[in-house]
Amino acid sequence: MEKKATPKGPTLRQFQARFPTEDSCLEHLKLVRYGVKHVCAKCEREAKYYRVKARRSYECEHCGYQIYPTAGTPFHGTRTSLRDWFHVMFMFTSTRNGVAAKRVQREIGVTYKTAWRMCKLIRAYMGYVDGDDMLGGGSVIVEADKTFIGGYDKKGSDDKKVVLGMVERGGNVVARHIPSRSGRFVVPSILKNVRPGSAINTDSARAFEALEIHGFTHHPYNSAAGEKGGTAVIEGFWGMLKRGINGTYISVSQKHLQTYLNEFEFRYNLRNQPHTMFDRLLLSFPRGT
Ligand SMILES: [Zn+2]
């Protein structure tokens, strides 16, 4: 099969040339969130909006009603400049392995606490970008697999966290932190994320045995007996996730694991449109009026 060239997102240099000032960031935020024209919430007419000097706002050409493009975004009410926020969001959309708060602290010159908070918020919004579209259906093959993240906590107790991954071949991945590897948690998560009746490849773990009863076409692969390739795609995703978590984040707490999974899901699911990642992230902020 011929391998298609992966499209590339912008370089840091191109990105910085596009957003050289606070105003250029604000203008872009307005365009992405509101478009060139939109119906004014006050006068209810289709309107263009013009920048209000010395404010982060724009006003309706007809009635002067003001909109704040940063409203509802994590940028609102922070002292961090839009350029710095854009820079960190760019870091998240252009990396493979994640962004450590330490690196943000160094690159934009904020405190570690601020850097950590920025990263946490960006990750949360990355999670909102992914729709709730179910995987599978028709002739599409879905692979499901479990993996463990982490090892031992500071006291030396077992601190492994279980992640269930489901991926459509050639399509999207869903990764969920589940309380244990038992079928009690595995099967409901699959039912929630994979279309009824889909073909599902798994390994031969017992947790997957009930899939057939729930109407899926289940193909358990026995890797011990030399059967290969059944879950190669999800294993590729695990490789990326673990390189990121172990290499960049070192350790991830139980409480925050799902947001890290969302981050890697976001990048995987937009892997063929890297140039759209940044605007998709801006669009994830809920808009008021
Ligand atoms: Zn108006």
Q: Is the pLDDT confidence value at 250 over 80? A: no
User: What is the rounded CA–CA span in Å between residue 163 and residue 254?
Assistant: 11
User: What is the rounded CA–CA span in Å between residue 122 and residue 39?
Assistant: 29
Domain ranges of the chain: 12-129+273-283, 141-254
Dist. CA 52 → ligand 1 center (Å):
14
Dist. CA 66 → ligand 1 center (Å):
8
The protein residues having their C-beta less than 5 angstroms from ligand 1 (an ion) are: 40, 42-43, 60, 62-63, 65
Q: Is the pLDDT confidence value at 6 over 80? A: no
Single-letter code of the amino acid located at 176: R
Of 19 and 155, the structure prediction assigns the larger pLDDT to 19
Dist. CA 289 → ligand 1 center (Å):
12
Dist. CA 65 → ligand 1 center (Å):
5
Dist. CA 60 → ligand 1 center (Å):
5
For residue 254, what pLDDT is reported?
A: 83
Q: Is the pLDDT confidence value at 286 over 80? A: no
Q: How confident is the model at residue 289 (pLDDT cuts 50, 70, 90)?
A: very low
CB 237 within 8 A of CB 261: no
Q: Domain 141-254: which topology?
A: Nucleotidyltransferase; domain 5 (3.30.420)
Dist. CA 85 → ligand 1 center (Å):
30
User: What is the rounded CA–CA span in Å between residue 264 and residue 242?
Assistant: 10
Q: At what angle do helices 112-129 and 82-94 cross, to 10 degrees?
A: 60
Q: Is the pTM for the entire model greater than 0.85? A: yes
Dist. CA 59 → ligand 1 center (Å):
8
Cα angle value 215/217/222 (rounded, 5°) = 130
pLDDT digits (tens, 9 = 90+) for 94-146: 998 999 999 999 999 999 999 999 999 999 889 888 666 899 999 999 999 99
Number of H helices, E strands in the chain: 9, 9
Taking CB atoms within 8 Å and a gap of at least 24, the contacts of 208-215 are 208/144, 208/183, 209/183, 210/183, 211/187, 214/187, 214/190
Single-letter code of the amino acid located at 186: V
Of 131 and 65, the structure prediction assigns the larger pLDDT to 65
Single-letter code of the amino acid located at 195: R
CB 101 within 8 A of CB 252: no
Dist. CA 23 → ligand 1 center (Å):
22
143: which strand partners? 167, 201
